[in-house]
Structure 1
Amino acid sequence: MKQWKIYGILVFVMFIWGFNLPAVKYLVSEVRPVTMTAFRIFLASLTVFSILAVFRIVRKPTKQEWKFIVLGALLNVVCHHYFLSIGLTMTTSSNAGLILGTGPVLTAVLVSLIMRIYPSRLQWVGVILGLFGVSATVLAAGDGTSGLSFGDVFVFLSILTQVFSYMVISKAAKTLDPRLLTAYMFLIGSLVLFLISLFQEPGEIQAFFNVPPMFWVAFFGSGMIGTAVGHMLYNYSVGKAGPSKAAIFMNLNTLFTLVGSSVFLNEDITSRHIFGLVLIVAGVILGSGAAEDIWRKYKLKKSLSE
């Protein structure tokens, strides 16, 4: 598949994820987070398996591939969705979206460190800008730094574990279709989350019988589109473009989340959010190495024209 088509898929995924976050925020207000997430991820696994079955992509993984599947499930599904769902019960959807915006910077830096290709000075400036943008958003709530909540910390942990999972997905994609990897990860991850919910939220399954009709619209939309289709396409793109390039597009997730939070949850978008967003996007451009790449191409084009 051509590179521009991969980029188009990534933009579409960011749009889905941006509007999915407010939906998850609403869902965890009706049913406790771990129980709701376990069933939502299980629905996503059934959806992905059904789609792949139509295209005859489903197969039994090898022993080596199972190692990647289990590790990916623990990082990308259990840890990421556990921390995110818990965090959304204690912070706003807008704040969560902005914190998730640090994903591109974290991905670019971690990939560079793991591959022992250390970031340049300009990239480190991007890292600092991105983290400062998040701090400016979640700390400067009204009266100084009292705005930091455990919810913000949990959301940050969710994106950190997700970033590590992209390294696993990138390696697994060499032999296993990332879309099939997604289906297996969702299945295993949902079962682990369900076991956790039995201990952490006993009897919460009964809450599903008392939710309003709108809950089921959000639940099926989030599980089948936001989670199943979104993660399937993103993991596919990571396998094709690599974690660093794919992560660059995650800053669009922040933008769409702010819009979705304002439209569906009536959350206020303040100058604090805009300021944080600008810093995060600047951090992404610098931290991912995109700015240096553009500058090199500009200098090359200029030298050829002379």
Structure 2
Amino acid sequence: MKMALLYMMLIVTMAIWGFNIVAIKVLVSTFPTLTITALRVFSALLFILPLLFIRPSWKKISRRDGLFLIGISLTTIVGHQVFMSVGLNYTSAVNGGLILGTVPIVTSIGAALFLQERFNIHKVTGVILGFCGVVVIILAGSNYKFTISLGDLLFCCTVIVQAIGFILVKKISDTVDTFVITGISQFFGGGILFFVSVFAEPAGIYQLGQGNWQIWMVFIFSGVIATGAGHYLYNLSIREIGAGKSAIFLNLTPFFAILGSYIFLKESILLGHWLGFFLVVTGVLFGTGVIKSIFIAG
């Protein structure tokens, strides 16, 4: 795949994921959180399943790869979706989107620990700047009081499980097809979410009639396009250029989340949010080696 096409695909995916934070905020404000989250993941299979049958992607999966697929299901699907969806009940889409911008830094740390990538002074600088950015964002969301909301805390958990999931995807992307990784993880992750929602929200399925057609269009965007197509495209990029380089593009997600929150949710964007965004992006550029590459090229 040509690099220019791959990079453009990543930028579009980041825009979709940024606006998806706004979409999820709308959905969890209308429907029971876990029930609609499980349905979103299952709807993502509408994108993946036809492609799985068209492409000769299936082969015998080793025990090792099977264990990694379980881990991917529990992190990128169950953990990521639950923490993010529940978190949006307790924090703004702006705060959530900006905190998610630290995923590249955490992924970089994970790559150093588990993929034997070097952890140098540039990455340490990136971690410090990213941490400072998250602190500023959280303070801005709490009117600069030294408190952290439950929603912000849950989004920090989202960052950790998503980074772990990306590392696991990289571990098996050379032996398992991207369609299979995405399809199996969404199938099992969606199944787990469904059973959890049945016990946690017994009447959740009966409350789905509350939404109008506009809300269900948002649901289709969030489920099929953002969760289904988006996860496939990102998993494909991890296979093509690696977890570290793919993660660089994730710092675009907060920008689109801010833009969508302002346009569609009319949320306030404070100076602290922009300062936190600047620190996070700068931290990402340091942590993923972009700054180092610029200095070497110069």
Shorter-chain TM-score tier? over 0.9
Count of aligned positions: 297
Amino acid in the other structure paired with 1:98: L
Matched, 1:63 2:28: no
- State whether residues 104 and 284 of structure 2, in contact with CA within 8 Å, keep that contact through their aligned partners in structure 1: yes
Which region of structure 1 is more displaced relative to structure 2, 95-104 or 162-171? 162-171
Show the counterpart of 1:259.
Answer: 259
Is the CA contact 1:140–1:146 (under 8 Å) kept in the aligned structure 2?
Answer: no
Deviates more, 1:21-30 or 1:4-13: 4-13
- 1:196-239 deviations in Å (ceiling 9; x for gaps): 11121111111112222221111111111111111110011011
1:152-206 CA distance string (max 9 Å, x none)? 1111111210100111111211111112210111010000001111121111111
**Structure-2 separation of matches of 1:255 and 1:127:** 20
Contact 2:31 2:210 in 1 (8 A): no
1:184-199 correspondence to structure 2 within 5 Å = 184-199=184-199
> Is the Cα–Cα contact under 8 Å of residues 40 and 223 in structure 1 kept in the other structure?
yes
Quick one: which amino acid aligns to residue 129 of structure 1?
L
**CA contact 1:105–1:130 (8 Å) conserved in 2:** yes
Q: For residues 61 and 11 of structure 1, do their structure 2 counterparts lie closer, same or farther at Cα, with a shift above 3 Å needed?
A: farther
**Greater mean alpha carbon deviation, residues 144-153 or residues 124-133:** 144-153
What is the 5 A alignment of 1:208-219? 208-219=208-219
**What residue in structure 1 maps to residue 155 of structure 2?**
155
In 1, distance between residues paired with 2:200 and 2:163? 26
CA apart distance, 1:60:
5.0
Report how far residue 118 of structure 1 moved: 4.2
CA distance in 1, matches of 2:218, 2:60: 32
| Equivalent pair of 2:126/2:285 in contact (CA under 8 Å) | yes
Distance across 1 between alignment mates of 2:23 and 2:45: 18
Whole-angstrom distance in 2 between the partners of 1:268 and 1:240: 38
Q: Contact 2:61/2:176 (CA < 8 Å) preserved in 1?
A: no
Pairwise mapping of residues 126-165 of structure 1 onto structure 2 (< 5 A)? 126-141=126-141, 143-146=143-146, 148-165=148-165
Unaligned runs of at least 5 residues, structure 2: none
1:47 aligned residue: 47
1:122 aligns with 122
* Aligned counterparts, 1:294-305, within 5 A: 294-298=294-298
Q: Which has the larger radius of gyration?
A: 1
Residues 275-294 of structure 1: matches in 2 within 5 Å? 275-294=275-294
How far apart are residue 120 of structure 1 and its match? 1.6
Give the distance between the partners of 2:144 and 2:119, measured in 1 at CA.
Answer: 32
Aligned-pair identity (%): 35
Change (3 A) 1:116 1:60: closer
Q: Specify the alignment match of 1:303 in structure 2.
A: none
Counterpart of 2:9, as a letter, is: I
Give the whole-Å Cα distance in 2 for the aligned partners of 1:38 and 1:221: 15
The more displaced of 16-25 and 140-149 is 140-149
Q: Using the alignment, how far apart are the partners of 1:265 and 1:50 within structure 2?
A: 34
1:273 aligns with 2:270: no
Task: Compute the RMSD of aligned alpha carbons.
Answer: 1.5
CA contact (8 A) 1:28 1:36 kept: yes
| Partner AA of 2:29 in structure 1 | S
